[in-house]
Amino acid sequence: MTSKRLWTVCLLLSLIELSACAEVRPWERGRLAKPHMALDADPLLTGIDAHTFNSKEAASGGIGPAGGGCGCN
């Protein structure tokens, strides 16, 4: 009996999750593209920080080639 109840709860939760999906129309996308909604607030600053970190560690974090530690890649 518990298994059937668990199955029913999982099914209801998945149906609720699927009903939350909505299509975003092209004219509605402007409201969603606000700067404070971006995953990376300042891409240039993030790139500079990554370059500095990779230069100091003499290893790359999947961003580019390894440096010698001096920052002169």
Cβ neighbourhood burial of 54 (10 Å; 0-12, 13-18, 19+): buried
Cα(47)–Cα(20) distance, integer angstroms: 35
pLDDT digits (tens, 9 = 90+) for 1-25: 688 899 999 999 988 888 777 787 8
Residue type (1 letter), 47: G
**3 is written with which tokens?**
């298994």
Q: For 15-66, what is each residue's pLDDT tens digit?
A: 888 877 778 788 877 777 777 777 777 888 888 888 887 777 665 555 555 5
Contact between 46 and 40 under an 8 Å Cβ cutoff? The reply is yes
Contact 63, 45 (CB under 8 A): no
Q: Is the pTM of this model over 0.85?
A: no
The DSSP secondary-structure symbol of 37 reads G
